[in-house]
């Protein structure tokens, strides 16, 4: 790389490696970006830069740590974050902007050029390669400056949820109904998928959008054939991460929205019934404290579908043929044509039918 990498956002925050200082071409990028502060997360000085060292072109902080597993970079975060924040938002500039936003300052420090009083500084954070130490300090600053970005992050939200489940398990109680995370609904929210009212339509949409491996099976109610879990909501419970043994009595799945009625009662454990109102067959059980499978592996918390009460079917979408090709051919033979319109299916007389 020969240029600085700018962190997306309003801050003039850049990250990269030490190579920027090693040649005149890359070095010019420092001036082009109006850098005023340099944070070196490596032993480094500007002594080799005669002009810059004499003119003190940049405010500089060097944190002398190596890229080793036993280095304590956490202890340096407060100083690094403070330096970055003061570089991006100098106190004197902030105060001047508050007093008179239209006021213009003189020449900026070093290669900064002319800047308006309301404009922030620019900080370059680097280590040797710009991949680990420098990036860690930049992340620490962003978490400090913009905590709401973390709070709304799906990974962080899932971590909070798992911690809540752990606390509930220690207390031997079920989690509060308002806190239960239904993975299919969470996925729709996180991907921005449009909400659909009908549960069967939601299952069909997830099946079509899922990037599932060929041969993976969805789980259906043995009695009414209602889809209970698509392949991506199945959980492996073997230590090696491989698929469960066909001899296992349980098929473990994520928490899904059709379980809402059973889980919101506040019970620590109970039965799971088929969500089809015309069926209601018992298809499995749940236990917030966990279940031990017949293979002796524990799953905590556990949402189990009994293998003897469900069928495992390869989804039609996993085939190379169009999902509706067989159905369409059958209807044509019967003298009907199928036309999908806005998720509704209409059967009309087929012109070439008998």
Sorted by where each starts, the structural domains of the chain and their CATH numbers stand as 5-150 (3.90.190.10), 177-317 (no CATH), 324-349 (no CATH)
pLDDT tens-place string over residues 259-309: 999 998 889 999 999 999 999 999 999 999 999 888 888 898 999 999 999
- How much is the pLDDT for 49? 57
- How much is the pLDDT for 351? 42
Cα separation, 4 vs 202, in Å, equals 45
Cβ(215)–Cβ(314) below 8 Å? yes
Cα separation values, 218 from 205, 221, 275, 281, 309, Å: 14, 10, 16, 18, 14
- How much is the pLDDT for 346? 38
Q: Which residues of 300-310 are buried (b: 16+ CB within 10 A; e: fewer)?
A: ebbbbbebebb
- How much is the pLDDT for 183? 87
- How much is the pLDDT for 59? 87
- How much is the pLDDT for 236? 84
Tally of CA atoms within 13 A in the half-sphere of 35 that contains its CB? 30
Give pLDDT < 50 ranges for the chain. Answer: 1-2, 50, 53-54, 94, 98-119, 193-201, 204-205, 207-212, 319-354
- How much is the pLDDT for 70? 86
- How much is the pLDDT for 239? 56
- How much is the pLDDT for 295? 86
């Amino acid at each position: 790389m020969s240029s600085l990498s700018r962190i997306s956002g309003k801050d003039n925050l850049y990250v990269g490696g030490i190579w920027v200082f090693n040649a005149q071409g890359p070095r010019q990028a420092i001036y082009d970006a109006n850098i005023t502060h340099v944070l070196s997360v490596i032993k480094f000085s500007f002594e080799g830069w005669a002009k810059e060292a004499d003119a003190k072109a940049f405010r500089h902080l060097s944190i002398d740590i190596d890229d080793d597993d036993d280095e304590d970079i956490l202890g340096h975060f407060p100083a690094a974050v403070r330096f970055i924040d003061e570089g991006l938002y100098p106190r004197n500039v902030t105060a001047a902007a508050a007093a008179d936003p239209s006021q213009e300052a003189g020449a900026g420090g070093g290669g900064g050029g002319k800047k308006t009083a309301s404009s922030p500084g620019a900080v370059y954070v680097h280590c040797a390669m710009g991949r680990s130490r420098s990036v860690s300090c930049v992340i620490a600053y962003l978490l400090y400056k913009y905590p709401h970005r973390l709070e709304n992050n799906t990974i962080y939200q899932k971590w909070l949820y798992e911690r809540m489940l752990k606390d509930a398990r220690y207390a031997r109680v079920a989690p509060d109904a308002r806190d239960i995370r239904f993975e299919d609904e969470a996925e729709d929210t996180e991907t921005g998928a449009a909400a659909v009212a009908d549960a069967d339509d939601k299952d069909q949409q997830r099946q079509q959008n899922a990037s599932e491996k060929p041969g993976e099976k969805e789980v259906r109610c043995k009695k009414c054939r209602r889809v209970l879990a698509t392949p991506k909501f199945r959980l492996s419970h073997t230590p090696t991460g491989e698929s469960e043994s066909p001899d296992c009595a349980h098929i473990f799945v994520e928490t899904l929205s059709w379980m809402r009625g059973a889980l919101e009662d506040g019970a620590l454990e109970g039965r799971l019934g088929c969500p089809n109102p015309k069926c209601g067959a018992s298809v499995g059980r749940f236990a917030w404290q966990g279940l031990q499978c017949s293979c002796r592996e524990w799953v905590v918390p556990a949402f189990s579908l009994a293998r003897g009460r469900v069928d495992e079917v390869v989804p039609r979408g996993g085939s190379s043929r169009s999902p509706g090709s067989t159905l369409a051919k059958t209807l044509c033979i019967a003298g009907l044509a199928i036309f999908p319109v806005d998720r509704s299916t209409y059967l009309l007389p087929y012109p070439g039918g008998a």
